[in-house]
Structure 1
Amino acid sequence: MAEENGAAPQVRMSVLAQFVRDMSFENMVAQKGVTSSEVAPDIQVVVSLDARKRPADHQYDVISKYKVTSKNKANGETLFLCEVDYGGIFHVEGVPEEQLHPFLLIECPRLLFPFVRRIISDLTRDGGFPALNIDTVDFLALYRQEVARRNQAQAAQAQPN
C-alpha cells in the first residue's frame, strides 16, 4: 500500500536466532611456560563477514568472523589467539535488491556486535588474561574496504598480460 502512494516500502528486520558457529582460544603463555616479566601486549583484531540467502523467503545467514591475536611487543611472541565465528539468522523485508547486500553486511553485524564482544571478553578472561573489550567495529568502513578490494581484484583479472 505504501508503494502505491509513492512512499518507500517499510523495512522490517528481525533476528530469528544467534549462535556461535565456531570458537577457539589458545593460551600460548601457559602452553609454552613463558615466564617473562616484560609483557607488553599488542592486540590485533581482524574482522570478516559473510551473508547467504536461506531457503525460506526473506531469511539470511550473516556470519561475523573475529580473529584476535595478542603478541608481546618486546619479543613478538604470541600470547594468545582467539577466534570466534558468530552468526545470526535474519528475516529482512522491504530492502530494495540493490541495497540488500550492504544492508546484510553492515546493519546485521552491527546488531550482533555487542553479543560477540561479550563472548570475546569472557573468552580472554576465562583463558587466563584480563578481559578484552574490543573496540567498536565500523562495519560501513569494513564493507567499503571489501568492495574496493574486490573491484581491484576484478580490474587486475580483466587486464591482459
Structure 2
Amino acid sequence: MAENNAPSEKQFIIQKIYTKDISFETPNSPKIFTQKWEPALDLNLGTNVLPIENSMFEVSLTLTVTVKVGESTAYLVEVNQSGVFLIAGFTEQEMGPMLGSFCPNILFPYAREVISDLVSKGGFPQLILAPVNFDALYMQHLQQAQQSPQNSETKTLN
C-alpha cells in the first residue's frame, strides 16, 4: 500500500457555485412580440480565473446572448456564472486545462439554466444553448497564445 503523501495528492473539490452577475434586456418590447419570430442568435463566452489562496481559485464563465429578429434586438442576456474550486497536487501543465476547460465545463450547465429561465420569464420561447467544447476552445486559446504571446492574457474590450 502506498504511503499517504498529502502534499502531492491530487485534489479537486467544488467549494461553491454561484451566479455572480445577471443582466436581461428587452430593448424593443413590447413591439418585438408582434413580429414574426425568426431569431438570429449570437453567443459570446469568456472565462476568467482569479487565484484566491492556498490552491483555491474562482473561475468565472461569462455568456452573452444576443437575439435579433431582423434588425431589432429581441433580447440581450448576460450571465456570469462562477465557482470556487480547490485544486491541489496537479502539475503546472495540468492546471491550465483544469482551470481553462474542466471548471468552465462544470459551470456551463448552470449558466445555460439561468439563461433559459431568464428568456422564458422575459416572455420569449425557451432557449436551450447547445453544449460547448471547452477542451477545443482551450486548445485554440493555447495556439493563439503561442502565435502572439503578448495577447495571451485576457483583455477587456472598451
2:135 aligned with 1:137, yes or no? no
2:108 aligned with 1:113, yes or no? yes
Counterpart for residue 17 of structure 1: 16
Counterpart for residue 69 of structure 1: 66
Task: Give the superposition deviation at 1:140.
Answer: 0.7
Counterpart for residue 154 of structure 2: none
Report the identity percentage: 28
2:25 aligned with 1:26, yes or no? yes
**2:28 aligned counterpart, secondary structure:** helix
Aligned pair partner of 1:38 in 30, 36, 40: 36
AA paired with 2:41?
A: I
AA paired with 1:128?
A: G
Aligned pair partner of 1:50 in 27, 48, 51: 48
AA paired with 2:29?
A: A
Task: Give the superposition deviation at 1:146.
Answer: 1.9
Aligned pairs, number? 148
CA distance in 2: counterparts of 1:124 and 1:17, whole angstroms: 25
RMSD: 2.2
Task: Give the superposition deviation at 1:43.
Answer: 1.0
AA paired with 2:52?
A: R
Matches within 5 A, 1:140-159: 140-154=135-149
AA paired with 1:37?
A: Q
Conserved 8 A contact 1:27-1:128: no
Task: Give the superposition deviation at 1:2.
Answer: 6.5
Task: Give the superposition deviation at 1:91.
Answer: 0.5
**139-148 or 40-49, which deviates more:** 139-148
**Runs of 5+ consecutive residues of structure 1 not aligned to the other structure:** 157-161
CA distance in 1: counterparts of 2:94 and 2:3, whole angstroms: 19
CA distance in 2: counterparts of 1:121 and 1:77, whole angstroms: 20
Task: Give the superposition deviation at 1:107.
Answer: 0.7
Task: Give the superposition deviation at 1:85.
Answer: 0.6
With over 3 angstroms needed to count, the CA separation of the structure-2 counterparts of 1:152 and 1:117, relative to structure 1, is: same
TM-score (norm 1): 0.81
CA distance in 2: counterparts of 1:27 and 1:41, whole angstroms: 14
CA distance in 1: counterparts of 2:38 and 2:80, whole angstroms: 27
2:56 aligned with 1:59, yes or no? yes
AA paired with 1:126?
A: K
